[in-house]
Structure formats: structure tokens, C-alpha cells
Amino acid sequence: MYSMIEVRDLCYVYRSGQGETLALDHVNLSVDPGEFIVIIGHNGSGKSTLAKHLNALLLPTSGQVLVNGMDTGNPEAVWRVRQQVGMVFQNPDNQLVATVVEEDVAFGPENLGVPPAEIRQRVNEALEAVGMSAFCQRPPHLLSGGQKQRVAIAGIIAMRPACLVLDEPTAMLDPSGRVEVMDTVTRLNRELGLTVVHITHFMDEAVNAHRVIVMEKGRIVLQGKPREVFSQVDKLKNLGLDVPQMTDLARQLRSAGIDLPADILTVDEMVRQLCS
């Protein structure tokens, strides 16, 4: 299988009046079509800087990022790269531009020069995909945080990208809004085959990923399936990271003498183990 995104020996240096900061230090990463990857790490670990390289918002200081074979460092490829990789950020208010939901979702396809009849179809399909069809005539400022973020995701989906990059999209949401957005993203990956790269500091959002990548000081220090990564509780805690609540609870119960697996991730798994 070919890689949709290929990151090769990527380094990135932020330059300021105070000097230089190495934000990414020889990062190598492949993302396959249809994969759901979650990237975790504390603030300053480089995860958001990496995300911005995936659709050429930032360009490598050295190394290379390829999107479906296109080099993001090639100025002639940037437009096509950004059509392939759509980004959703923390604050949905910064991404909503129109006074009505359906007009906002239409904004991207209009800028791509999509014919009006196809724009209408894309808007309808995108709003249905994120469960917001009933709100098509609603002003965005009357929506909840979770609903706004789903509209922002619909706006990206309407441009038909191959990959969705989410840079801490639930950071500003309450728990119910977080659940709304994560249910939507998981469904888009599962049902539409959309490739997802999700940056988060909420460990519970990583349990359904195909792969979890842990970053520290601009490097990838750990990666694997969620069970493989989160079962290494001590290593993660030494990196200043939490683990999913149920994984931590299982660890505490094991230390109290209760025989439980170390790789429990969800409430349902914990209930099954305790009841058995």
C-alpha cells in the first residue's frame, strides 16, 4: 500500500529575535489511506508544528513532506496539496465566515470554482455527514461550540479532501461538545474512509485510533496501537502525559491486588472485566 502522507527526516526551526528553536527534529512518519492517527504530547512537543506541515502551512527547514507524491516544498504543488489535506483548528469561530450555516459550508467549494449545482450537492452531503442538516439555515453564532466545530468540519469535507487534519479541535469545547465532534470524526473515518490525523491532549480521544504517536521535544518517541502505547503507563507519565481514565484505574486496581489486564481503555471493557 502506498502512503498518502510521507514525512522524511523533517526538521523545522522557529526563528525570532531571541534566537532559534528546533521545533521538529528529524521526524519520519507515514500515513496510509483510510488510517486514523492520533498524535499526543504536552505543549511544545511539536505536534501542532507537524500538523501545519501536512498541508504546507509551514514548509520544512530541512527534510521533506510528500502528500500523494507531491512535495509541499514545491510552490506549484501547494494548491493541490491543500485540496488533498483539509485542516480544522481549535477555535471554530475563526473558521466560520458566513451568516448562515449552508453558506459557510459552500464557501470552500465556491473558492475552488465548483459549479453551483455540484456545490449544492456537496453542501447537503457534508451537512448530512456531520449530522447538521437540520441546522442548514441557522446563523452559526446561535450554535453550540460542538455544533460550530461540526459545521467547520463540514466546510472542509465539502472540498472533498483525502485527509482531515484536526489540530486540537475539542480543546475549547465542553464534554458534550467533545463527544459530538469525536463521534463525527470517527464516523467519517469509518464510513467514508476519510484519512484522519488528530492532534489532541485528551487521552480518551485516542482509544479508537488505528495508531497513536507520542511526541516529545520535536521527536516521535513512541508509537503503536492504542493498547500498546497506553499500557506503558510509567513511560507516559515520565513524559508528563496522562493515560485514558480506565487505563489509570486498572493500574491502581492492579496495584491493590485485583487481577486485571494492563491494557483496558474504555468503561465498557472495565465493566466486562470486573463483572467476569
Catalogue all structural domains in the chain, each as residue range(s) with its CATH number. Answer: 5-243 (3.40.50.300), 244-276 (no CATH)
Predicted TM-score (pTM) of the model is: 0.91
C-alpha closest to that of 53 among 185, 215, 178: 215
The pLDDT value given to residue 1 = 61
Cβ atoms of 205 and 180 within 8 Å: the answer is: no
For residue 83, give the amino acid letter.
Q
The pLDDT value given to residue 242 = 87
Instruction: Report DSSP letters for 217-247, one per residue.
Output: TTEEEEEE-HHHHHT-HHHHHHTT----HHH
The pLDDT value given to residue 16 = 86
The set of residues, in sequence order, having a beta carbon less than 8 Å from that of 204 and lying 6+ positions away, is 244, 245
The pLDDT value given to residue 18 = 85
Mean pLDDT, the chain cut into blocks of 10 residues (276 residues total): 90 91 96 96 93 95 96 94 92 89 94 92 93 94 93 93 94 90 92 94 92 96 94 89 88 89 88 87
The pLDDT value given to residue 95 = 86
